[in-house]
Structure 1
């Protein structure tokens, strides 16, 4: 149990059962699962400040939600870790309707979301998952493992209801509304080069042709300004 706890402590990302089984190769899945349960119960019984959370298909040590206020004071969380209301709305559409093209998201929102989508990709919350088999071959987007980790979700079946997402949009800080997520545990933001490399992976297919939105096209700078004002 102590070795398991040590691994969870030093790991910056959730450890899957397959990963744990590969490390503890002499133990069975049932034995590892039992030790995880013992560890979780131990934290609960002691009222420890940390807990064992099942996140993004793996296991991770996390701080308890009730201590978030103190942790935020200590870490001095910056505004850059927050998601604006437009970004949350766009992310919710992608999460529930994935895989989905940019034009399909824009049809729901009624505005151009180019700048917002790029921001979500930089945060590693959204990624390109393929191209739609229709004329123009538009890129399709979906959520990432970091999305699950950010919101403290076990998998996509654990997605909150639309009402809960609306409550998130009504809040000022997404991390306060979903305290089980840990912005510090999310991978470093994707660089422009990484995003371009991801897009280039589909360059052998026809270029993306998406229907324009009902609203005038906005630049990335305009989108960023609108997001800032929305916060």
Structure 2
């Protein structure tokens, strides 16, 4: 027996406004329905969005992550969506922040010195921005240097629509390796963080961040 159109419509209405994954229990409570009915409805929406019920395929999918259900753009349209988000007026992170986030995602856990070695610029401002937006978090200290280590958060995976870091596209081999020498890291960090003419950072509102080199 198929789920009623009314229930499917109610589920869609809620899923369209959530800004983080929502659980079956939360949906059932909001709709005042049994969890089994909600779970059945979610599975029917999954099939519907995939075009398995006779309707056309959609530009979005309904996916369950570790913390609940949410609608995401379809993976096959990632390139188009990425261009729109990063190049258009909808961009929420600067190119510098996106590049830094990519380094952390594929090389985590990493220190700011290690990130700076790969990018060749001061990353203090963008790291603060990523921390403030809960995309990365501190995760202990590097043994040889005592520097703070950073990794991506659960929220980052939710925004990416992935269940684990293993689901990230195969990009890591394209990144340069991290130099293991503590002395070199200290040297590079010192060189990159040398005082420069203060320039306003539009992301972190930190007027003293050194500018990135082109």
Q: TM-score with structure 1 length normalisation?
A: 0.55
Q: Map 1:133-212 onto structure 2 (within 5 A).
A: 134=143, 137-162=146-171, 211-212=186-187
CA-CA distance at 1:161 after TM superposition: 0.8
CA-CA distance at 1:38 after TM superposition: 0.8
Match of 1:184 in 2: none
Q: Which segments of 5 or more consecutive residues in structure 1 lack a partner in the other structure?
A: 167-209
- Structure 1 residues 96, 50: CA separation in 2 closer, same or farther (over 3 Å shift)? closer
Higher helix share: 1
Structure of higher CA gyration radius: 2
Match of 2:111 in 1: 101
Q: Which has the higher contact order (CA 8 A, sep 6+)?
A: 1
Range moving further from structure 2, 34-43 or 19-28? 19-28
Counterpart check, 1:221 vs 2:199: yes
Q: TM-score with structure 2 length normalisation?
A: 0.59
Q: Count residues with an aligned counterpart.
A: 176
Q: Which segments of 5 or more consecutive residues in structure 2 lack a partner in the other structure?
A: 1-6, 176-184, 201-208
Match of 1:39 in 2: 45
For 2:19 and 2:192, the matched residues in 1 are separated by 42
Range moving further from structure 2, 55-64 or 97-106? 55-64
Q: Superposition RMSD on alpha carbons, in Å?
A: 4.1
Match of 2:180 in 1: none
Partner SS, residue 38 of structure 1 = helix
CA-CA distance at 1:39 after TM superposition: 1.0
Partner SS, residue 161 of structure 1 = coil
